[in-house]
Amino acid sequence: MLRELVPELGNGSGELKSSRLPELRYVISIAGKDDGCFAFDWILERGKQVGNDQLDSVSATIRIDDAVNIQFTSGTTGLPKGATLSHRNLINNAFFVGEATGIEPGSRVCIPVPLYHCFGMVIGNLGCLTHGAAMVYPSEGFDPLATLETVEAERCTALYGVPTMFIAQLDHPDFSRLDLSSLRTGIMAGSPCPIEVMRRAVERMNLREIVIGYGMTETSPASTVTTTDDPIERRVSTVGRAMPHTEVKIVDPEGRIVPRGTTGELLTRGYLVMRGYWDDAEKTREAIDPAGWMHTGDLATIDEEGYCNIVGRIKDMIIRGGENIYPREVEEFLHRHPDVQDVQVIGVPDARYGEELCAWIVPRAGAMLDEESIRNFCRDQIAHYKVPRYVRLVEGFPTTVTGKVQKFEMRKQMVKELGLPSPPAQAPSHVGHTHVSSAPNLSSQTTELLVFLPLKPGARERFQRMLFEVAEHIAKEPDFVSASVYEDMDDPDTIVLYESWVGSREHLLKTQLSKTYRKEYEAALPQLLKAERRFVFLKPPLVRYSKA
């Protein structure tokens, strides 16, 4: 892949001159000597020859806030962005997470997470360096058996990983034959940690002091973490409290701090917030407000003792017939099923309710699961509207290279597989068009409005928060049927507004917006009206476009 990007790489040695990447000067190969590359071992040897004097002189020119790493986000919701992180960001975050996990000189930390990700690079690598602990890398890429065997052979005292890694190890057929008695602590982070998986890790892997961390690439990465002396119930069911020298708050869509225990967006501020997105001032302004708060895009609560619980991502929240449903809640419930190894819940378009629940389930080896048994497990245990309408038994989920689940890819696959009849599933991909149709399975007097609304990058999340805020108000209208918001599958910076109601009057969304959002929405409408088509109201069963 590198040679395709830089065909000049093999043309001699020394400083590189590439037409496609003119700023690239050197390529260093960790694996050893390669044509056109410097071997990492050679770099180390040169360093020994030069001595520390040159290192000291260079160190004197470095400021703590200088950028040291451009760390690309995982791309779970769209294209990765380059988070620019400083020495101050990384060293401090690594140190404080290490304090939380309780590693110390003499600790042996097994690190199966990739080093090109903040988890491996900062929490793993730098965390050990700041505490004098040994770093143990079990394999070049994650392998559950290799990780378990390494823990046994190297007598590791700590184990790091994302939830899917722990699940793969716990469910490996050779798990019971390996001695993990040396383990004491570790950290599970990188994506939401199911409570049942945490409990199994504590009970079956001897990780009696394991902690949970929460964060994002843009915050170096951790902003909250549990600690080894937190009660076990807190360590398995929350993501802990704000780390030292870090502020967190929960706000409503208008930016006001909400009462304790109330759901809102989690914001964080402090030394850990990135310098910005590389070469993208606009996206930086959308992510970090003028007061320095990083908007995470995650829904959370904070209780009276300061413990934070992640409810889910704002864009993952499902609105079914006016009811707000957080996928995390349903996932946690399904993890209790003895034959469920892993589960992810998504919302898919539905003509009647706006959205319906779909569960992708990875069964345990040898389990005899089917769709109806899952629904029966849910009935009378959770609210009827939280029972998944669609259940798919799968071998795994689409993920990024760092193991994070890509729910938007799952939604795409379900829309295609089910051939869903709702307008968002059939909608034309032309950004900026609007379309009005009637749903044949609803009342003959029911009208539906589908609007493709292109927004400035980042504004989509603000609009989604706004829609969630007004959904309950819209649901009280006597002629309301449903209202939904979707991310356009062809353009991550376009949202699809969808609502249906009885009759044919002005759509409800605009009438229910707060003044702040109404002004923003009306300002965006000209973009729609300038498109080559505009919406009209039609009586069923017609479906038609109107030329602007």
Which domains are seen in the chain, by residue range? 2-59 (no CATH), 67-245 (3.40.50.980), 333-397+404-418 (3.30.300.30), 423-547 (3.30.70)
| Closest to 471 measured CA to CA, from 355, 381, 346 | 355
pLDDT of res. 112: 96
Question: What is the C-alpha separation between 12 and 376, in angstroms, rounded?
Answer: 67
State residue 18's pLDDT score.
87
- Residue of 474 and 251 predicted with greater confidence: 251
Tell me what the mean pLDDT of segment 15-43 comes to: 83
pLDDT tier at 494, thresholds 50, 70, 90: low
For the segment 375-385, the average pLDDT, to the nearest whole number, is 90
> How much is the mean pLDDT over the chain?
80
- Side chain identity at 442, as an amino acid letter? L
d(CA 394, CA 546): 43
* pLDDT > 60? residue 461: no
The Cα 38–Cα 34 span in angstroms is 7
More confident residue, 161 or 77: 161
36 against 357, higher pLDDT: 357
**Main-chain dihedrals φ then ψ at residue 187, nearest 5 degrees:** -145, 135
- 414-432 as b/e: b if 16+ CB within 10 A: bbeebebebbbbbbeeeeb
pLDDT for the residue numbered 429: 27
CB 106 within 8 A of CB 154: no
For residue 192, pLDDT over 70 is answered with yes
Q: Are 476 and 508 in contact, with CB atoms under 8 Å apart?
A: no
Please state the pTM of the whole predicted model: 0.69
Residue 201 banded pLDDT, cuts 50, 70, 90: very high
Query: Residue 335 is which amino acid?
Result: H
d(CA 522, CA 506): 14
| Measured distance CA(15)–CA(28) in Å, rounded | 12
For the residues 183-201, what does the mean pLDDT come to? 91
3-state secondary structure at position 109 = strand
What is the predicted pLDDT for the residue at 8? 85
- The fraction of the chain above a pLDDT of 90, given in percent, is 48
255 C-beta neighbours (distance < 10 Å), count? 16
pLDDT for res 237: 87
User: Which of 284-290's residues contact partners 24+ apart within 8 Å by CB, and which partners?
Assistant: 286/456, 286/457, 286/458, 286/459, 287/218, 287/458
Which DSSP string corresponds to 352-377? TTEEEEEEEEEEPTT----HHHHHHH
Question: Is the pLDDT confidence value at 354 over 80?
Answer: no
